[in-house]
Chains A and B, each alone.
Chain A
Amino acid sequence: MGRKLLTEHVNVEGIETFEVYRKHGGYRAVEKALKTMTPDEVVDEVKKSGLRGRGGAGFPTGLKWSFLAKPEGVPRYLVCNADESEPGTFKDRYLMSKLPHLLIEGMIAGSYALGARTSYIYIRGELLYVLRILEKAIAEAYAAGFLGENILGSGYSLDLHVHPGAGAYICGEETALLESLEGKRGNPRNKPPFPAVQGLYARPTVVNNVESIASVVPILNEGGDEYAKLGVGKSTGTKLFSACGHLNKPGIYELELGVPVEEFIYSDEYCGGIWKGRELKAVVAGGSSVPILPKELILKTAAGENRLMTYESLSDGGFVTGTMLGSGGFIAMDETTCIVKNTWNFSRFYHHESCGQCSPCREGTGWMEKVLHRLEHGHGSMHDIDLVVSVAKQIEGNTICPLGEAAAWPVAAAVRHFRDEFEWHVKHPHEATQPGAVYRGAGVLA
């Protein structure tokens, strides 16, 4: 078992309270930053750590911070994106509910680094119980003098607010999140201007994922160089993975980046293999929006090398034979999974969650869902298989925000890797629609 930087004390009784968190070394990072470092030094430390965005895009966090415009006399904001809604991803809610003070500490350190005097945690509306936990923790932090005026006598003041959304997946896209936070309809904005220049209330803003912000705490405690020693290559540090699906031990795992995928799935230390002794069929490695891969390509790259849990290794082979690390939502599917049904299910989600602002996504997501519904229910044709790929291609890259790609990639990848299963649904509609029927490459599993 590798080092745990974020979840080391997660099982300590009462760790969600200020007192216990503080007893276990909590708020040391804030003390260090405010008393011994300048804001720029904090940014440099994060840069040195090589931390990459944990929300899905994997953009270097320190670099993102350094892009922030700093005009004189203009407020700046740090916004935490806690609108975790991607199917298969449930790491942030875990972190916030178990370790609320870790996030708050990260928010204080990050806000100090960016010169923000007011910061926000935008949380998914459905996570009301987590909202309550955060509100209580924020109140404790205020009472202890870690939030509010003149924190620790350093002259730095910060107000932190937690704001619930209304349960729209699109509000996890940073600019839609900002629109929603401003009280408007949660539609993504056109870029440029980027949030770093014109974000919340048209002021310079950084939007970071929960885990990215929480990771600032161990980076400041350990030092950026030490953090960068963990992991492999440009994938430094540790990352939370939410494993679900047909696994013996689904759950949240904090891994040092670089663990082989095979070890993660089959080792007793982690997921403990596929449930009921079945065979692994496919994996979606980074939340439902990343391309699905069959067993042979998730365990090894096309070149035959072991696939590792890193940004680079998982994307080895591009979208032809690779995928993405994404948000770390690791969904394993056993041999009884119907890929067509699964693809339709994903597609249904993106159709439902499209904001409807731009034409390709608004119309295309619904079109894909309807065609996939037909294929799954035995009314499809061979032409439909090509059609759904063509529609995905028409959406991909032509939309305002990445939801278009998120809707298109799973569909395109499913057909690319499991085309024979789609064709079987067309050729054998009666068998395919029987309850429990699954394509096994040679027939039906009753």
Chain B
Amino acid sequence: MAKITFDGIEVEVPDGTTILNAARKIGGGVVPPAMCYYTPLKGSGGKCRACLVRVAAGSAKDPRPMPKLVASCITPVQDGMVVENTTSQQVLDVRKGIVEMLLINHPLDCPVCDQAGECDLQNFAFEHGVSTTRYEEERRTFEKIDIGPYVQLHMTRCILCYRCVYTADQLTDGRVHGVLGRGDASEIGTYIDKVIDNDFSGNVIDVCPVGALTDKTFRFKQRVWFTKPMNAHRECSHEKCNGHVTLWYKGKDVMRVTARKDEYGEVKEWICNECRFDKKETADWILEGPAHIDRSSVISQGHYELPVVNPQIIADLPESTIRDLQQNPPLKLGGLNG
């Protein structure tokens, strides 16, 4: 086990845990944002640089600070490590810069984007960005390509997080899409006439942090904040799919089906295309009840929750830390109240 101090809060985690996951154990407003890291996807992370943090002390053995900011999603903790996230002005300034970079070529077409309301980049920009841009040059655009019957690709919105590539690589056989080109000319694409038509291709929609990959069967049908998410399941014949989903209702109609996600927007269990695209009647499903939306998103309008420290770890915290938290709760650290 390794004991680390994250934004002044002590937490003990198993060896090998990343700084980000240690912060997630604490929860609340201290958790760094992540645009490319995705827990179920092996090898993801380190690309977007949104989760950079300052390591003020490397470990108990070697308490020197790390010379550069490190990506918390891929850096393992060391016993005695001291990490600064929202308590470091340097980190907050760099994060502003990262938002600015990501928004250079990401069009602000939120009013017509299906991802609006559940877009990680919207949340990231809202929490860490600035309201103006200094970019005056021409924006990058791409030729539109058709990548299959279910998934719509908007390459201009892509922030090249590689999540969809890892998903296709690790979840399906015979990946046919990937990153083509180099630098800011990189694009997600398929080889000429290939389409994404395997049984689990729809999961790339769920993992996309922005609106680059959207559901063709849901396009322009409804804004997500007008829908009501309900957890449901069915006996799925596909061996890899357990049929646990979230149904998004508008009135009595199922507008779309997605995999269930955790509080960080990460899919808990992958679902097959049959469950996602072909079963859009309530009769197909056994309803379990309303899905819990606990992210700082417009979807949760009317039932906002303040970010707080995970109750599970409070019992293990030193008294001094609990005292500090009572005086300066983490909900004051960045995030909604920053």
Chain A residues near B (Cβ < 8 Å): 168, 170, 185, 190, 192, 351-360, 362-367, 370-371, 387, 390, 394, 397-400
Contacts and interface: CB of A to CB of B under 8 A. Distances in A.
A358 B49 contact: yes
A413 B225 CA distance: 49
Nearest to A351: B183
B49 A398 contact: yes
Closest 8 CB pairs of A and B: A394-B97, A356-B186, A190-B46, A354-B183, A363-B101, A370-B137, A356-B183, A366-B184
A390 B93 CA distance: 12
A170 B184 CA distance: 14
B218 interface: no
B97 A360 contact: yes
A112 B183 CA distance: 38
Given A351-B183, A356-B183, A364 B101 contact: yes
A192 B16 CA distance: 12
Contacts of B181: 356
B160 A356 contact: yes
Interface string B67-97: 0110100111000000000000000001001
A356 B182 contact: yes
Q: Is the interface of B mostly helix, strand, loop or mixed?
A: loop
Given A356-B181, A356-B184, A398 B69 contact: yes
Contacts of B69: 397-398
A363 B102 contact: yes
B255 interface: no
B194 to A, nearest CB: 17
Interface in B23-56: 45-50, 52
Contacts of A366: 183-184
Contacts of B98: 359-360, 394, 398
B134 interface: yes
B46 A362 contact: no
Contact of B48 (A168, A355, A359, A370): A359
A190 B19 CA distance: 15
Contacts of A363: 101-102, 104-105, 184
A168 B183 CA distance: 11
Given A367-B137, A394-B97, A398-B69, A168 B182 contact: yes
B304 interface: no
A40 to B, nearest CB: 26
Contact of B94 (A354, A371, A398): A398
A351 B184 contact: yes
A170 B183 CA distance: 10
A367 B137 CA distance: 8
Interface string B95-139: 001101110110000000000000000000000000000110100
Contacts of A359: 47-50, 98, 101-102, 159-160
Contacts of B71: 190, 400
A240 B185 CA distance: 36
Contacts of A358: 46-49
B142 to A, nearest CB: 14
A394 B186 CA distance: 21
A401 to B, nearest CB: 10
Contacts of A400: 46-47, 71
A352 B47 contact: no
B179 interface: yes
A366 B100 CA distance: 13
Contacts of A370: 137
Given A359-B102, A360-B98, A365 B159 contact: no
A356 to B, nearest CB: 4
A412 to B, nearest CB: 15
Given A365-B183, A398-B94, 18 more contacts: A170-B182, A351-B184, A354-B183, A356-B160, A356-B182, A356-B184, A356-B186, A358-B46, A359-B101, A362-B183, A362-B184, A363-B104, A363-B105, A363-B184, A367-B101, A387-B134, A390-B134, A398-B97
Contacts of B101: 359-360, 362-364, 367, 394
Nearest to A365: B183
Contacts of B100: 394
B49 A357 contact: no
B68 A185 contact: no
B97 A354 contact: no
A37 B104 CA distance: 58
A387 B74 CA distance: 31
Contacts of B179: 185, 356
Contacts of B74: 190
Contacts of B48: 358-359
B47 A353 contact: no
A366 B181 CA distance: 15
Nearest to B137: A370
